[in-house]
Chains A and B, each alone.
Chain A
């Protein structure tokens, strides 16, 4: 039987290589196309240096644009090399250092940070475990993914208690998010989110309760494949919903979702289909 596409070429760490390529490639692209000029427009009183910058004595004043651009392009080069698996030990260390610097600058200007923390932790994992070819990197990234959602649930419980699931709370938060982000206030009532907050109170309570339950149950995805099949798509839908109704963008989560994709099985299936098709021809 002629086999054009050898399934035996499947290596044991294909999942890791795919994830590594996507993660670093995406990070290089996301930071590479980011325009840092918005920081120059911010007043200096917005500058609240993160503790880590203070420890490194880099927090006295905001960095100038040329420093930011230098850090940005150094990150893009390092992440690009890491995506291709070239000089990975050095490129992963460089990616973490320059990436962390840029993320800390974002945070110090008050840009919300859950997405940045996820990215920083994954960069750190690659830097520390960079040489490993077993599945530990993927396992640690899955832990980070789950902890990120679990932490959001715990935060809600700690600060608000179960009252957070009251529909009134959710509608207030949707209002708050849009009031800050929206600029054309004259047309506010025609917007999608305005229709959502006018929905019945019980529906909003159900939404809020579902979100909190999902966040608190996220770690179950680590221990059960069935739970992961349910929790991961639901978390993705929740974040898409948050983007639509609250304008909060979770695009930096995208590469982290890819850690759940069984690339080796997809590769195997693809190879089988390809071979079957080729034989018929």
Chain B
């Protein structure tokens, strides 16, 4: 007489399967909880900058990038590079982007000068490189959106902002 034993239920875990299952749980915790929501407690920490929103989307994150969104100014904290690394530049460039969209030339002037001061303080290299970088960025933006106002702002921007 054949006696068919019942198949073990899927949640019955054998002793040898316990370790790999725990490892998977550890990785799920590592990726989804510790990394995404609590990066500060994760020993292998990174800021995922490509996941962050740009203005004019939700902007509270801008304060993290060294930009005070309410006062429309950057924090001139010399340690900002130390705490944020290269990613600090991200917020500044995008903030400038927004100011050009709003055609706020006076603010652009002050903002860019502060940016250059900080840029030089930290030995980031040739400021003309940054100038070229920002101008091309703005030009591309204006060209893409075909907004005459921005094109005019761009022309004014080149003539007015003293970067030297």
Interface residues of A (CB under 8 A from B): 43, 45-46, 48, 50-52, 55, 104, 107, 110, 112-114, 116-117, 120-121, 125, 128-129, 132, 136-137, 139-140, 143-144, 147-148, 150-152, 154-156, 158-161, 163-164, 166, 168-169, 171-173, 175-177, 179-180, 185-186, 188-189, 194, 197-198
23 contacts between A and B (CB under 8 A): A48-B83, A50-B45, A51-B42, A112-B46, A112-B49, A114-B46, A116-B44, A128-B23, A129-B23, A137-B20, A140-B20, A143-B27, A151-B36, A154-B32, A155-B48, A158-B36, A158-B37, A159-B48, A159-B51, A161-B53, A169-B53, A169-B54, A197-B144
Contact in complex: B27, A173 (CB < 8 Å) = no
Is B123 an interface position by the 8 A CB rule?
yes
| CB neighbours of A143 from chain B (8 A) | 24, 27-28
| CB neighbours of B58 from chain A (8 A) | 160-161, 163
CA distance A101 to B147 in the complex (A): 50
Is B136 an interface position by the 8 A CB rule?
yes
Asked if A104 meets B44 with Cβ closer than 8 Å, knowing A45-B122, A159-B53, A164-B53, the reply is yes
| CB neighbours of A156 from chain B (8 A) | 51
Task: Specify which of B23, B122, B140 is in contact with A175 (CB 8 Å cutoff).
Answer: B140
Contact in complex: A107, B93 (CB < 8 Å) = no
| CB neighbours of B149 from chain A (8 A) | none
10 A-B pairs with the lowest CB-CB distances in the bound complex, closest first: A113-B46, A52-B43, A155-B51, A110-B85, A160-B53, A151-B31, A136-B20, A51-B43, A172-B54, A147-B31
> A interface, by DSSP: helix, strand, loop or mixed?
helix
| CB neighbours of B19 from chain A (8 A) | 128-129
Q: Say which size band chain B's interface belongs to.
A: 35 or more
CA distance A172 to B123 in the complex (A): 26
Is B35 an interface position by the 8 A CB rule?
yes
Is B119 an interface position by the 8 A CB rule?
no
Beyond A107-B46, A150-B31, 20 additional pairs, beta carbon < 8 A: A43-B122, A48-B82, A50-B45, A52-B43, A52-B44, A117-B31, A129-B20, A132-B20, A137-B20, A140-B20, A143-B27, A147-B31, A159-B61, A160-B52, A169-B53, A175-B141, A176-B90, A179-B133, A185-B136, A186-B132
What is the minimal beta-carbon distance from A50 to any residue of chain B, in angstroms?
A: 6
Is B57 an interface position by the 8 A CB rule?
yes
Is B99 an interface position by the 8 A CB rule?
no
Contact in complex: B132, A185 (CB < 8 Å) = yes
Is B157 an interface position by the 8 A CB rule?
no
Contact in complex: B140, A188 (CB < 8 Å) = yes
Q: Tell me the B118-135 residues at the A interface (CB within 8 Å).
A: 122-123, 129, 132-133
| CB neighbours of B132 from chain A (8 A) | 185-186
Contact in complex: A140, B129 (CB < 8 Å) = no
Is B94 an interface position by the 8 A CB rule?
yes
CA distance A132 to B144 in the complex (A): 56
Contact in complex: B144, A171 (CB < 8 Å) = yes
CA distance A139 to B144 in the complex (A): 46
| CB neighbours of B50 from chain A (8 A) | 173, 177
| CB neighbours of A147 from chain B (8 A) | 27-28, 31-32
